[in-house]
Every structure is written in C-alpha cells, then in structure tokens.
Amino acid sequence: MIKINLLPTEKRKAERTPLPRFLLIASTAAAFFILVFYNLWVLKMISDVVNDTKNQTQILADLQPAVQKYDRLLAEETALKNKVKEIEGLITRDVEYWRLVNALWDVIHANPRVWIDDFRILDARSAPGDLRRVDPEAKDAVAYGVSMRCHVAGEDVLEMTKFRKSLKEHPILQEILTLINFNVTWVVSEERAKDIEETHFIDFDISMYGLATPPKRKAIPVPPKGGSVPIKTTPAPAPAPGGSPK
C-alpha cells in the first residue's frame, strides 16, 4: 500500500536526507577540495622549481668568467710543468749534447756537398719508438739519439758514403752514439734551379742512438800536486863488457 501525503507543502514535515546519500555527498565534496588543494600545491612546486632553475642558470652564467680563467690557469700550469720537466731532463741527463752537436758540426763542415733537411734530437721517450720504426728487429735498449734527413748534390753516391763513414769514425760520436743505423735505401730526385749546377739529388736518412747505459768517457790524467804529469823514461841499456853499447 502506497502512502500519499496530501497535506500542503508548508504543513508537511521536513524529510531528512538518508545517511548513505549524505555520506556520498560529503565524501565527494571532500575529494573535490582535496584535489583542488593538491593541484594548487603541485603548481606551487612547479613554480618553485622553475624559479630555482632560473637562479641556478644565472649563477652558472655568472661563474663562466671564473671557469674560463681557471681553464686558462690550468693550461698555463700544465705548460709550466712540462717546461720544468724538460729543464730537469736537460739538467739530469747523462749525455752532453753540446759535445754531440759539435761533433756533428765537424762532420757536416767537412762534407760541404751534404745538406741537412731535418734534424731531430730523440729523448728517452721517442728514441725507442724511432729505433723500432727504422729497424723492427732491433733488440737494443736505447735512451737517446739523433735523426737526420739529408741530401747530397749530384747522382754520385761517393759523397753520401763519405759522409756516413765520417759519422761512423768520429771518436766523439763513437763514444756517445754507439748504435748507428744507415738507411740503405735512398731516392734520387730531380730539381731544376738557376742558381745550382746539379739537377739531381740523393735523399737519404741517418739515425744514431745511444744505449741505455751511460757512455763512459776516457779519464783525463790528473797532474800531481807539483803541477806536471810524470813522464815515463826508458833506462839506457847497460854497456857491453868491451865498454861500448851493443
């Protein structure tokens, strides 16, 4: 049976909202406000991150001159360290390069038809690699050396042979550069010029190395305190029985 309220609206008793419906409406309103506050919080966080990013970018831009100065100083420090290491190597090395250069100049001056196109001093780092390049089967341990690219005017190999022989027989070079590698191959090139007579040249390479053991120099006799070097004298032969030497 259906109940019908026929009383006028103003005289009717107020009906209460059922409890489940009230809870649903309240929870929906609460979720809405929670989502609104969450979105506002996320937007604020995004704004803070953007502001921090801008500030950090500005700080990095302000630090660029200091970074460039640091890089420049670091490069200068590296260059100075390399120069100090090179100077220390010149001071502590056992080879007297001034004697080597003087000896090479003597040989070059004695062979005026030979010209030096390239001259390189090899240290302990580059000498072993250069030796393996010119002689892959070499087993010697080298610590320094000299590499030269030369040419001689004309097509006659006698001048080249003479130059090589002079290098090999020079006493100072024999003392300092004990290992000499003569490139057995040479190239004859042609060049036409008005100020020279020869139109052909022989190009050849020479590499000389010093062994890892320090070279031994001949000891110079030290005079006694009196200031003179003693002279060895040969005693005269004893006279013969007849009174005259044999």
pLDDT in tens, 108-125: 899 888 888 988 888 888
Residues 16-25, mean pLDDT to the nearest whole number = 70
Instruction: With CA atoms as reference, report the closest residue to 172 among 115, 94, 102, 114.
Output: 102
**pLDDT surpasses 70 at 88:** yes
Percent of the chain with pLDDT over 90: 13
Q: What is the model's pLDDT at position 221?
A: 53
Tokens 């070279």 belong to residue? 215
Condensed to tens digits (0 to 9), the pLDDT of residues 187-225 reads 676 654 445 566 678 888 888 888 876 545 555 555 555
CB-CB contact of 120 with 187 (8 Å)? no
Condensed to tens digits (0 to 9), the pLDDT of residues 136-190 reads 887 888 888 888 888 887 777 888 888 888 988 898 888 888 877 766 566 676 6
Question: Any idea of the CA torsion for 2, 7, 10, 15, to the nearest 10 degrees?
Answer: -20
Provide the mean pLDDT of the chain: 77
